[in-house]
Amino acid sequence: MSSYVGGGATTEEATANLTTPATSCGAVRPAGSPSYVFYRTVVDVYVVSALCAAGVVGNLLSMLVLRRDRDRPNATNWLLQALAVVDTVYLLASVLIQPLKTVNDVAGQDARGESNVGVRTVWG
């Protein structure tokens, strides 16, 4: 027996929405789909890691070029060097955090082994 809950949803529909994992934009994600797990793993681990590695190499090259330009020390060079250092730290943190986030989201468990389905994390 279904009853009216409000907002046009019945009790069964409201209960189904509570147990279905959703993304931050409200779209339902296929949590058990092997293709979804593969896609998430490839994009969130390998693609992000490759982009971060390319970014770190680019930042190191720009720091090297800016450090060699000692004949004209000015504020712009110092600011660009500081930006490259901060960006490198951010990219390295992303490489460390993104795989852990993906494993947490795909596995559906938190660090204590309890289910986190339907619970918003810091990242999502």
Q: List the one residue out of 15, 21, 20, 16 whose CA is nearest residue 40.
A: 21
User: Tens of pLDDT along 101-115?
Assistant: 887 777 765 555 555
> DSSP states of 48-80 as a string?
HHHHHHHHHHHHHHHHHHHHH--SS--HHHHHH
- Mean pLDDT lowest among 70-74, 87-91, 106-110: 106-110
pTM of the complete model beyond 0.95:
no
Condensed to tens digits (0 to 9), the pLDDT of residues 24-51 reads: 555 555 556 778 778 888 888 889 899 9
Q: Which two tokens stand for residue 55?
A: 């970014």
Burial of 34 (0-12, 13-18, 19+ CB in 10 A): exposed
pLDDT at 57: 97
